[in-house]
A and B are shown apart, each in its own frame.
Chain A
Amino acid sequence: MSIVFKRTLPIVIVFATALLFILEFFVTIPGIDFKSAATTVNNWGIILTAFTLAFGAVNLFIFQGRHILRRTKGQWPFSLWMLIVIVIFIVIGVSSGVSSGQYTWLYSASYFALSATVYSSLGFYMTSGIYRALRAKNIESGLLLIVGIIALARNAPAVAAGLPIIIPWEAWISAVPTTSAQRGIMIGAALGALALGIRTMIGRETGFLGKLTEAEKGG
Chain B
Amino acid sequence: MVKESKTIWDRLEDIPREVLYGILIISFIMPMLFPIGFPVPISPEVQRWYNTIDNLPSGSVIMVDFGYSGGGEPELGPMAVAVYHHIFKKGGIKVVAMSTSNEGTLLFDKAIAEINPSQYGKQYGVDYIHIGYITGTESAMAAVGKSIRATTTTDYKGTPLDQYSIMNGVNEAKDFALLICYTTGGDQSEGWVRQWYTTYQTPYLCAVLAMMVPTMLPYQKAGQIVSLVSGAQAGQMELLVHVPARGIKSADVITITHLLCIALVVVGNIAYFGKKFSGGKQ
Q: Which residues of A are in contact with B by a Cβ distance under 8 Å?
A: 25, 35, 38-40, 42-43, 45-46, 49-50, 53, 97-99, 103-104, 107-108, 111-112, 115-116, 118-120, 123-124, 127-128, 130-132, 134-137, 145, 148-149, 152-153, 155-162, 164, 167, 174-175, 178-179, 182-183, 186
Contacts and interface: CB of A to CB of B under 8 A. Distances in A.
Given A119-B74, A127-B260, A127-B261, 4 more contacts: A131-B15, A155-B210, A161-B39, A178-B217
Given A42-B143, A123-B257, A135 B272 contact: yes
Interface string B86-124: 000000000000000011011001100000000000000
Nearest to A153: B262
Contact of B217 (A153, A161, A182): A182
Q: How large is the interface on B (under 10, 10 to 19, 20 to 34, 35 or more residues)?
A: 35 or more
B50 to A, nearest CB: 16
A25 B255 contact: no
B265 A145 contact: yes
B136 interface: yes
A120 B134 CA distance: 27
Interface in B178-237: 199, 210, 213-215, 217-218, 221, 232, 235-236
Interface string B241-260: 00000000001101101111
A43 B134 CA distance: 10
A127 B20 contact: yes
B169 interface: no
A108 to B, nearest CB: 7
A40 B140 CA distance: 12
B163 interface: no
A99 B24 contact: no
7 contacts: A46-B136, A104-B109, A120-B74, A158-B255, A162-B39, A174-B214, A183-B218
Interface string B121-162: 000000000000011100110110011001100001110000
Contact of B135 (A35, A46, A134, A148): A46
A161 B255 CA distance: 11
B258 A46 contact: no
B272 A115 contact: no
